[in-house]
Amino acid sequence: MTGSSTARAARDHPGERLRALGAEAFAHVNGTLDRHLHGTERLLRRFGNREAVCLAGLYHAVYGTAGIRGRLVDPRARTVIVDIIGADAEALAYLYGACDRERFHPRIGTAAQRTFVDRFSGAQYSIVDSQLRGFCEITLANEVELAQGNAAYRMRHAGELMQLFARMRHHVSAAAYATAREVFQR
């Protein structure tokens, strides 16, 4: 690889593209959004997830979330993210950002768990098992990443998150669930 093609490859890497969208300048709970997103991706890789789930984890807050103000990309411009990480990964990243947590999280582990609630559109629609599994794995990795770097966050949210993770148990990898238990039951 030549010097210019190496530079182009680095510039085209999803992590570099994320920084170009402003993730390094976006304040987040434990520093910057860029740091958090990369930490979430690392956890997903450690848990053994497929590439699309790992990339979705890297981009999980690009459209904003119910838990943070602001966004890097307007959800109406989804093709921008599809071009960077692919349609499968983008669809999972969109689900994460679009989730109406107050209405959808209680459904996980129940007969209604495949009826997603989209906070952007207000719509409810069906998701398939692979989307539910990816969503749950990203959710767990996101919370673990936040808790690993912030003892106050971990202590404040441990009870409610462990209840959520227990409902997600059959939708996440054994490695993810074990890590969550280890981190939140300290």
Closest-CA residue to 138 (of 41, 35, 64): 41
State how many domains the chain has: 1
Distance CA 103, CA 83 (A): 30
| pLDDT mean across residues, the chain | 90
Q: How far is CA 109 from CA 2, 104, 132, 134, 159, in A?
A: 51, 11, 11, 15, 17
Distance CA 84, CA 82 (A): 5
Range of the domain at 93: 3-184
Distance CA 156, CA 172 (A): 23
Tokens representing 118 are 């989209």
Distance CA 134, CA 54 (A): 9
Tokens representing 75 are 């959800």
Distance CA 123, CA 142 (A): 24
Amino acid found at 115: T
Look at residue 1 in the predicted model and tell me its pLDDT: 43
Residue 86's φ and ψ, nearest 5 degrees, are 95, 160
The pLDDT tens digits of the residues spanning 43-99 come to: 999 999 999 999 999 999 999 888 888 888 899 999 999 999 999 999 999 999 999
Look at residue 83 in the predicted model and tell me its pLDDT: 94
pLDDT of 177 over the 60 cut: yes
CA atoms within 13 A on the CB side of 80: 13
> Does the pTM exceed 0.85?
yes
Look at residue 26 in the predicted model and tell me its pLDDT: 61
